[in-house]
């Protein structure tokens, strides 16, 4: 089925170390939404996902500062809170942009749960750093009091909490959103779903889903959403206009039109950074292997041209 999922990074709203005010987030998103409106004007189904790293980090800090007065919330609840927060922001800014572009669609935020396996090895070996940096003394206290796994970042001189990052298995709200898009009203909506990878939940023996303290990779979750909805295109938006080999080194070469097999070979060769481009490439390849038709990596200004085959990295 035609349609495009655009995966927005958390930096579309807020950059680490920059002004983290709500006004700043609105200004940043206001520069993004005209591009999304242009994509929607093309007539295809448009679905949005987004990151939530900076937003969850802020809520974790608020939890710590207010712990003496207000009980702290678990990580899955903070994920739900950021889905509502960021979804509201996207609705507030994208709705008038659609109106200005004369696109008769409404923005709908769906608080989304992502099922993970309770047997996922990630629960035995947490690897995802979250929250602020701690001193040696603070790290010892948190390890003892809460049983946290922690890692030391020598470059920044502090300790960070590590949480599991299990693989996404199923997007629980997917069937309902697919029914909406298949209905006669489907062309009137732009769903915002699976923010931050979705709220991680596991299915217990009684069939009830329960939230867990984990973080799901947002790119893998975006690929899962696109597959479940049967969309043709997955477009992951990042800070650079595409993927490159020898990035930042002598011989740097930007990738334009590439085949899936070529991209797989470059991935095996270690061309993509572990904490930056690699997870995006892995998610895109997974999407293509499971029946997706087109995977794109680009930045926001280049997105409409990338969808027309004129910019970005395009994998067939």
In the prediction, which pLDDT does 18 show? Answer: 66
How many C-beta atoms surround the C-beta of residue 180 within 10 A? Answer: 15
HSE (side-chain half, CA atoms, 13 Å) at 29? 26
How many C-beta atoms surround the C-beta of residue 37 within 10 A? Answer: 22
Instruction: Confirm whether 144 is a catalytic residue.
Output: no
- Catalytic site residue from 3, 11, 158, 230: 11
Is residue 253 one of the residues assigned to a domain? yes
- Catalytic site residue from 63, 218, 292, 312: 218
Nearest to 36 by CA among 61, 16, 12: 12
Number of domains in the chain: 1
Q: What is the pLDDT of residues 148-171, one digit of tens each?
A: 999 998 788 799 999 999 999 999
In the prediction, which pLDDT does 16 show? Answer: 56
- Catalytic site residue from 52, 57, 79, 128: 128
Is residue 305 one of the residues assigned to a domain? yes
Question: Which CATH number covers residue 256?
Answer: 3.40.1160.10
In the prediction, which pLDDT does 11 show? Answer: 61
Is residue 21 one of the residues assigned to a domain? yes
Is residue 143 one of the residues assigned to a domain? no
Domain that holds residue 10: 4-107+170-199+216-315
Instruction: Confirm whether 10 is a catalytic residue.
Output: yes
Instruction: Confirm whether 218 is a catalytic residue.
Output: yes
Residue ranges of alpha helices (H) inside 66-186 are: 75-100, 136-146, 174-182
- Catalytic site residue from 87, 198, 280, 312: 280
Is residue 250 one of the residues assigned to a domain? yes
In the prediction, which pLDDT does 214 show? Answer: 97
Which residues, other chains included, contact 189 with Cβ-Cβ below 8 Å and sequence gap of 6+?
Answer: 105, 106, 107, 108, 180, 181
Alpha carbons 66 and 123: distance in angstroms, whole number = 28
Instruction: Confirm whether 11 is a catalytic residue.
Output: yes
Is residue 140 one of the residues assigned to a domain? no
Is residue 165 one of the residues assigned to a domain? no
Tokens at residue 27, please? 């200004």
Which residues, other chains included, contact 270 with Cβ-Cβ below 8 Å and sequence gap of 6+?
Answer: none
Q: Report the chain (316 residues): mean pLDDT per 10 consecutive residues.
A: 86 65 90 96 93 92 92 95 96 97 96 98 95 93 93 88 97 96 81 97 95 96 97 95 89 94 95 88 96 96 96 95
% of the chain residues with pLDDT over 90 = 82
How many C-beta atoms surround the C-beta of residue 265 within 10 A? Answer: 12
Instruction: Confirm whether 63 is a catalytic residue.
Output: no
Nearest to 288 by CA among 254, 252, 313, 305: 313
């Amino acid at each position: 089925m035609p349609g495009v999922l655009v995966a927005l990074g958390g930096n579309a709203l807020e950059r680490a170390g920059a002004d983290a005010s709500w006004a700043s987030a609105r200004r940043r998103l206001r520069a993004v939404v005209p591009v999304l409106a242009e994509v929607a004007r093309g007539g295809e189904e448009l679905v949005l996902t987004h990151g939530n790293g900076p937003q969850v980090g802020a809520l974790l800090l608020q939890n710590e500062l207010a712990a003496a007065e207000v009980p702290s919330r678990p990580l899955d609840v903070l994920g739900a809170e950021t889905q509502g927060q960021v979804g509201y922001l996207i609705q507030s800014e994208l709705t008038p942009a659609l109106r200005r572009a004369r696109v008769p669609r409404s923005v709908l935020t769906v608080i989304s749960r992502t099922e993970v396996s309770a047997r996922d090895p990630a629960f035995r070996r947490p690897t995802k750093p979250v929250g602020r940096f701690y001193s040696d003394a603070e790290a010892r206290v948190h390890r003892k009091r809460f049983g946290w796994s922690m890692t030391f970042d020598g470059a920044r001189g502090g300790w960070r909490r590590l949480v599991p990052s299990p693989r996404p298995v199923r997007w629980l709200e997917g069937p309902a959103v697919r029914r909406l898009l298949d209905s006669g009203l489907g062309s009137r909506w732009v769903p915002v779903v699976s923010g931050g990878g979705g709220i991680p939940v596991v299915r217990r023996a009684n069939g009830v889903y329960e939230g867990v303290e984990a973080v799901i990779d947002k790119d893998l979750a975006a690929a899962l959403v696109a597959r479940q909805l049967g969309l043709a295109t997955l477009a992951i938006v990042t800070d650079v206009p595409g993927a490159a080999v020898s990035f930042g080194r002598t011989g740097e070469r930007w990738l334009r039109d590439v085949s899936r097999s070529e991209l797989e070979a470059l991935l095996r060769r270690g061309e993509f950074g572990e904490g930056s481009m690699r997870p995006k490439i892995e998610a895109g390849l997974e999407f293509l292997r499971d029946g997706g038709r087109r995977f794109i990596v680009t930045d926001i200004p280049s997105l409409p041209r990338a969808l027309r085959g004129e910019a970005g990295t395009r994998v067939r």
